[in-house]
Structure 1
Amino acid sequence: MKTTGDQQLVKRINRSVLLRLLRRQSGLSRAQLAQESGLTKSTVSLLVRELIDEGWMTEGDVAAAQGLGRPSTPLRLDGSRRGMIGVEVAVEALRVVGVSLTGEVLCAQEEPLAGNAPETVCRQAAGLVAQAWEQLTRQGVQLLGVGVGLPGAFDEASGMLRFAPNLGWRNVDFVPLITQALGQAGVPPVAVHVQNEADTAALSEYEFSEGDAQDSLIFVTCGAGVGAGIVLNDRLFTGAQGMAGEIGHSILQIDGLPCSCGRRGCAETFFGARALSRLADPTQGGQALGVVLQNLWTTFNPSALVVGGPSCERHPGILQVAQATLQAYASSAGVPAPLVRGARYGLLASAVGAAALVLHHELRPMHARATPGQSRAIEVPAAPDIPETDSSLIA
């Protein structure tokens, strides 16, 4: 059966290919982009011009020619004209950031939660987003979208927050609440994406990585709750109902201490914030964290393991103990331990990652789904025909 592709989708895919190539290796020329992407030179030239005009790319100084031919013009992502806003709904606070396409934090704000009711949280978050949008606008930055990270299992297909025990939320239809609140706060109609806060934290490292995350990364966040954001094969791994990565509720001890989820012996009872507060030396919780890292490593074999969250900020020795524990397991098995490091963005990791969630979806049009989380996306005009000839446009 012959299938006719949607031209607008094909164009979005081609644009995303160029953007991702440039993100991976800044400074490529049009000719190099054509060679790496497999697109014709004329198609690349037209798409690059469009992306420059829209604020996605910018040109650098002309590089010297290699041998015969015209000198090439290096291209890079433009970190000054487009940006995203990220929101982290933490158990104790709201964190909101404005982030550039290149991962620079342009503005940041934090407030204690005014209340735990979902409607209250959404109104407060929307007010902070409106303030961040105004700051980005004053800096000449166009808003691409808003991402939200939640401390619980979020079902992307339905837009439902299934379970957030530390907030007392179950089966909250979150997306309509935040969408309505953003509109009432005066935020323009842009794409809105929602995900678990550990998943967004993983994207802060993966989308703005310095190169140590190749197709896979796991971010473990340690606070009142414990969770993991998992990126496998260049995509978030969230599970059937958004429950993947709920490592805080994996069992480390049969019939152990009771957990907030109703089970006993969960990892959260060993190195969640409440558990650490009961220890004379909180860094002792790092041993259980190391066990969990060992299990994640042998289960998923990621390129990098990243650990962050409030507990790591308050007790930095936790990560050192966890690294030593993991190293001991690796040595016993006679294999090299994986890379384990702290979060680059500190306590802003989940909020920055929520902003990165917008970029993650934008750069993967084939993976986009018509989910409630995209209900406020702006309609894009149909793409014009792109000629496949005239290589003289290449610099």
Structure 2
Amino acid sequence: MKTIGDQQLVKRINRSVLLRLLRNQSGLSRAQLAQESGLTKSTVSLLVRELIDEGWLSETDVPAAQGLGRPSTPLQIDSRSRGMIGVEVAVEALRVVGVSLTGQVLCALEEALGGTKPEDVCKQAARLVARTHAQLTQRGVQLAGVGVGLPGAFDEATGMLRFAPNLGWRNVDFVPLITQALAQAGLPPVAVHVQNEADTAALSEYEFSEGDAKDSLIFVTCGAGVGAGIVLNDRLFTGMQGMAGEIGHSILQIDGPLCSCGRKGCAETFFGARTLAKLPEPAQGGHYLGVVLQNLWTTFNPSMLVVGGPSCDTYPGIVQVAQDTLQAYATSAGMTAPTVRAARYGLLASAVGAAALVLHHDLRPMHARMSALAARPADAIEISSTSTIAA
């Protein structure tokens, strides 16, 4: 089998290399970017000019001297000219945010979910997106794309929402619905990306973190449902049909309480929001959360565990109980427990992460291309590799 390689793909990859270098180290000059990337100075100059014109990069006001000759001009990610919109479809509400390329929340809207039919949810979300886009336009921010986080297993290869038991959704062809709704709401043609809400929450921490996540991170979101967003080796790990991270439906007790998914003994029945509301001391549900964190730690060995969601906002004590439970397991094994912390963006984590999903795809064009090829029939895939790609 061959892989399609063309000049546009090469260009996108080279642009992403420069953007990622500047995200890791702001203030690099064109000459330094050429040195770090292996690209020629002329190629870097051309790409940098395009990225500045499109609002991805900006030049700082203070030149940086580099030995003899003209002082170079430091570059940085532009935090004012370009942004993304993120949507979280939660069980109880819709949250929509406008976010800068550097993770600053520029505006935010929230409404109670008006209905649970997929068509109604898409129309309501599209109206909020249109309002958010208008606010961004007033600030002079150009829209790079829209991301959507859903409370269920989403199959990226087919665009299908496999199941969202707390909304009563199964096998919903979601991408055409949201794309059509956005167009009808007057949104200009932009990239639209969809993923599970826990996966998007993980990206809010991973894409906009301060470097503590390294190349792996797990975000556990606790609400009416319980899920985990998993980033491994700089990629979202979503599984065969988007089912990876559905930890709320991992079994904690054989023949335990009946879950909304039809199984018995799921984790969700022990520390989902409905269960916590019935407990005399809701924070005690954190013991079960701590068990799940222990299992995630020993299974994936992430550099960071982040916990967030509505339940953590309502019952903040469950996070501390979960940390203590995890630490007890680590002490028993004579090991150092991974860092566990609360979500930086609070209840906006999934929405901000949905916006970050746009950036995540833009910065990994080869991964996006291979995902698209994987969704096509094998006999339709043609490959030619005639270009050298700088990395």
- TM tier relative to shorter chain: over 0.9
Q: Which residue of 2 aligns with 1:188?
A: 188
SS in 1 for 2:231: strand
Q: Which amino acid aligns with 1:35?
A: Q
Could you give the per-residue CA deviations for residues 199-239 of structure 1, whole angstroms, max 9, x where no partner exists? 00000111111111111110000000000000111111000
User: How far apart are the structure 1 equivalents of 2:63 and 2:187?
Assistant: 41
Deviation of 1:328 after TM superposition, in Å, equals 1.1
Q: Which residue of 2 aligns with 1:249?
A: 249
Alignment of 1:89-104 (within 5 A): 89-104=89-104
SS in 2 for 1:288: helix
Q: Which residue of 1 aligns with 2:294?
A: 294
Q: Which amino acid aligns with 1:114?
A: G
Q: Determine if contact 1:249/1:266 at 8 Å carries over to the other structure.
A: yes
User: How far apart are the structure 1 equivalents of 2:238 and 2:349?
Assistant: 18
Deviation of 1:45 after TM superposition, in Å, equals 1.4
User: How far apart are the structure 1 equivalents of 2:277 and 2:213?
Assistant: 33
User: How far apart are the structure 1 equivalents of 2:68 and 2:280?
Assistant: 70
Q: Determine if contact 1:158/1:371 at 8 Å carries over to the other structure.
A: no
Q: Determine if contact 1:94/1:112 at 8 Å carries over to the other structure.
A: yes
Task: Give the root-mean-square deviation of aligned CA atoms.
Answer: 1.8
1:324 paired with 2:330, answer: no
Q: Determine if contact 2:29/2:72 at 8 Å carries over to the other structure.
A: yes
Q: Determine if contact 1:87/1:354 at 8 Å carries over to the other structure.
A: yes
| CA gap 1:269/1:73 in 2 versus in 1, 3 angstroms | same
Q: Determine if contact 1:62/1:72 at 8 Å carries over to the other structure.
A: no
Q: Which residue of 2 aligns with 1:73?
A: 73
Q: Which residue of 2 aligns with 1:366?
A: 366
Percentage of identical aligned residues: 84
The total of aligned residue pairs comes to: 374
Runs of 4+ in 1 over 4 A off after TM superposition: 1-4, 369-372
Q: Which amino acid aligns with 1:213?
A: A
Alignment of 1:7-86 (within 5 A): 7-86=7-86
Deviation of 1:52 after TM superposition, in Å, equals 0.8
Q: What is the TM-score with the length of structure 2 in the denominator?
A: 0.93
Q: Determine if contact 1:312/1:319 at 8 Å carries over to the other structure.
A: yes
Q: Which residue of 1 aligns with 2:337?
A: 337
SS in 2 for 1:46: helix
Q: Which residue of 1 aligns with 2:174?
A: 174
Q: Determine if contact 1:201/1:351 at 8 Å carries over to the other structure.
A: yes
Q: Which residue of 1 aligns with 2:269?
A: 269
1:118 paired with 2:118, answer: yes
Alignment of 1:202-213 (within 5 A): 202-213=202-213
| CA gap 1:53/1:151 in 2 versus in 1, 3 angstroms | same
Q: Determine if contact 2:30/2:45 at 8 Å carries over to the other structure.
A: yes
Q: Which residue of 2 aligns with 1:138?
A: 138
User: How far apart are the structure 1 equivalents of 2:147 and 2:5?
Assistant: 29
User: How far apart are the structure 2 equivalents of 1:4 and 1:322?
Assistant: 47
Deviation of 1:2 after TM superposition, in Å, equals 10
Q: Which amino acid aligns with 2:342?
A: G
The range that moved more, 206-215 or 63-72, is 63-72
| CA gap 1:346/1:56 in 2 versus in 1, 3 angstroms | same
Q: Extract unaligned runs of 5+ from structure 1.
A: 375-395
Q: Which amino acid aligns with 1:215?
A: D
SS in 1 for 2:128: helix
Q: Determine if contact 2:216/2:302 at 8 Å carries over to the other structure.
A: yes
